[in-house]
Structure 1
Amino acid sequence: MILSLRTLMAGAAAAALLTGPASAFDTKARAAYVLDYTTGTVLMAKNADESLPPASMSKLMTLYMAFEAVRDGRLQLDERLPVSQHAMSYGGSTMFLNTQDRVEVEDLLRGIIVLSGNDACAVIAEALSPDGTEAGFANLMTRRAQQLGMTNSAFANASGWPAPGHRMSMRDLSLLASRIIEDFPEFYPMFAEKTFAFDGRAPSNINNRNPLLKLNIGADGLKTGHTTEAGYGLVGSAKQGDRRVIFSMVGLGSERERAEESESIVNWAFRQFAERKLVRKDTEIARADVWLGDETSVGLVAQKDVTLLVPVTPGTRLEAEVVYTGPLRAPIVEGQKLAELVIRPEGLPEHRLPLFAAEAVGSGGFAKRMMVVSRTLLARLQAPSEEAM
């Protein structure tokens, strides 16, 4: 029999579970995903697993693989790479490279991050491709994405240039952003750079297009995107205090709408949610019934403090319950896993926390065990029969 205790026994813990509902945020984006990176809490998911044209936001995959190559020694930051006719032929956002150039890898990375250089992506791709082609590198991108858990992504090129089958989901893009931040802290500061004047040859393309970088709201990355097919999009991240928020969105109608929507998402994520310590280590959360023990119940505790992200608007109680299969049969060892605490913040995913025995409970003596059995049998005999009902 599975039992649930909705009333928490520990007064301090119960008081901490008072909070309010998440304020709804209805984004104009076709698809969006907002993640509190610090706690792993998903704050918003709108069409988050739909595979859509990602435009230049897919350059993050090219960058991730380039960072891996530098870390592994397959590329050197000061290494100079040749520019092919294919790379030079790209239009759109470019570094204005030509086939006479040999460009340092570090400049190419900045050219992709800050200038969104399609030509720079092709140069990196051809250098790392097993067959020297951008298409060969795109196949590697797809396989590596699958290994990283990006199950709704496939690539036809390194830059996000419109092509059949070149798709990513917003959840995948946020996962990729998280991996870049986590795996390559030495490169991540590049994403906050506002300008990059490569060789003085492209004065009209020296500014980072990320609209959040100039707003003083903690934004430090990552990548914009725009094509006619995809609309306007952004993979963004901002850090305020100890919290970091990562988000991805696509399908907005204009550059201005992208700027306004991304600022609204960041402000909403930081203002409407806060971290709260909901459970303290070794504080009794509840008591569970024990069968045939020298005690009739056992305390349930967590083995670590639990801090969760919760809505901050006052007025609604956060739902929490202790779930276990019981009554629990003695003997019970101190520290034995016995139950789960299920916490359900309104509008956010539930959180499950294992609970353990606060103390040992031995088997009851013969007399006590017989008394428990007798009481149980007597209760069953006195219960009304189905025929009498």
Structure 2
Amino acid sequence: MKRLLLSLALSVATLAVAGTSLAPGAPPAPLIDAPAWIIMDYHTGQVLAEQNPDERREPASLTKMMTSYVLAAEVQQGRVSLSDMATVSEKAWKLNKNASENSLMFLEVGKQVSLDDLHKGIIIQSGNDASIVVAEHIAGSEEAFATLMNNYAKKLGMRNSHFMNATGLPHEQHYSTARDMALLGAAIIRDFPDDYRWYSAKEFEWNGIKQPNRNSLLWDTSLNVDGIKTGHTSTAGFCLVSSATQGGMRLVATLLGGKSMPARAVESKKLLTWAFRNFDTVQAVKAGEPLTRPRVWYGDSETVEVGLAEPATLVLPRGRRQDLKANYSLLPDLQAPVAKGQVVGKLFLQLDGKDVAEHPLVALKDVPEGGVVRQVSDWFAKKFGD
């Protein structure tokens, strides 16, 4: 397919630049004091900056994001209900003996607790005991639940994650990455918005014990942070997946291996603030807007209007919209019948002379086969034309 210039101010649904740490033309990312981190735009999935995003590391209690995701998915599919009562096992209760080494909901052995309360205990209090009770109730054992976790991770495209438990307690085969945790955070926001609201809850009380959410960014009035999860072990360091909104933009950031609880908040805030200050969300092409009219052979119309099937959105460095260039390629020898929505080519966007995105071009109308006269006329035109 030969590319043709398209002198329009356009955008597409995603702007993904593989193998780069910054969008083209973006200002330098701030120095972040953590070994692995990433920040991405929620709506497009575009990575704005990253460092060692695919390095396998201990996720600690960020693991409970997947525990929460599996619970929400199982509820959605009707396999369990939030009103179900789960029995606290001795395995879960025994964690109380090492309360200084575990984050707990402080459940009592043999008691029954609703999945709804357990879910809040997982999200807000980061309860290891609550995570085990949920795992055992859904899958029969924590080991079987880990298999479910890995199955869901695969469906979400988490290519470098493997879970051995529902809590995030250290295990040599239990790992994830900054990128995978950002993908998981975005999936929770997208797939289970009703559950996501609990990630912004600042405290939860159970059995007379009130515990605060450990995500200190929820109290930061300079940012609109509404989630999502903290994690810490002595070997994993201090971890945080955070999400914040400003205007129509939502960002998701992951930081792994921070030096302290305050440091993980400071460094995450640094990332979020940098991205909000330096990027804009741009929507320049509406769905169904004709961009070109290529020739159609043997149809009842000589041309077909071509455009995008979905509204086109991307994130650009602030002030760079006017530098965005576009061109397109079309399938050769387009012949009727052509169905509305049929892919007939690609639209490419360029910034600083490099392709930064592509989007399928589709027919915006049906073009049925023409009559005999048109069929014969087009046959001669193709056979003997220039």
- TM-score, with structure 1 as normaliser: 0.77
Q: Secondary structure at the match of 1:174?
A: helix
Residue 253 of structure 1, CA deviation: 1.7
Task: Choose which of 161, 184, 190 in structure 2 pairs with 1:153.
Answer: 161
Return closer, same or farther for 1:187/1:368 CA change in 2, 3 Å cut-off: closer
* Root-mean-square deviation (Å): 3.7
Deviations 1:118-148 (CA, angstroms, capped at 9, x unpaired) = 1221222222233xx3233223322332244
Deviations 1:253-294 (CA, angstroms, capped at 9, x unpaired) = 22222111211222233332222232245555457689999x
Amino acid of the structure 1 residue aligned with 2:259: G
Return closer, same or farther for 1:287/1:227 CA change in 2, 3 Å cut-off: same
Return closer, same or farther for 1:359/1:157 CA change in 2, 3 Å cut-off: closer
Deviations 1:152-207 (CA, angstroms, capped at 9, x unpaired) = 22112211011111111223222222332233222221111001132234x6xx11
Return closer, same or farther for 1:20/1:359 CA change in 2, 3 Å cut-off: farther
Q: Does residue 251 in structure 1 map to residue 253 in structure 2?
A: no
Map of 1:118-267 to 2, 5 A cutoff? 118-130=128-140, 133-201=141-209, 206-216=211-221, 217-267=223-273
Amino acid of the structure 1 residue aligned with 2:190: E
Q: Does residue 318 in structure 1 map to residue 307 in structure 2?
A: no
Question: Which stretch shows the higher mean deviation, 84-93 or 151-160?
Answer: 84-93
Q: Give the aligned length.
A: 359
Residue 224 of structure 1, CA deviation: 0.5
Map of 1:67-86 to 2, 5 A cutoff? 67-71=72-76, 72-77=78-83, 79-86=85-92
CA distance in 1, matches of 2:79, 2:339: 51
> Which structure has the bigger radius of gyration?
1
Equivalent pair of 2:287/2:309 in contact (CA under 8 Å) = yes
CA distance in 2, matches of 1:176, 1:7: 37
Return closer, same or farther for 1:108/1:281 CA change in 2, 3 Å cut-off: closer
Map of 1:251-290 to 2, 5 A cutoff? 251-281=257-287, 283-285=289-291
Q: Does residue 353 in structure 1 map to residue 363 in structure 2?
A: no
The residue that corresponds to 2:18 in the other structure is none
Task: Choose which of 52, 62, 81 in structure 2 pairs with 1:47.
Answer: 52
Identity %: 32
Task: Choose which of 8, 21, 26 in structure 2 pairs with 1:22.
Answer: 26
- TM-score, with structure 2 as normaliser: 0.77
Return closer, same or farther for 1:353/1:24 CA change in 2, 3 Å cut-off: farther
List runs of 5+ in structure 2 lacking aligned partners. Answer: 12-22
Q: Secondary structure at the match of 1:213?
A: helix
Equivalent pair of 1:333/1:357 in contact (CA under 8 Å) = no
The residue that corresponds to 1:3 in the other structure is 2
CA distance in 1, matches of 2:58, 2:65: 14
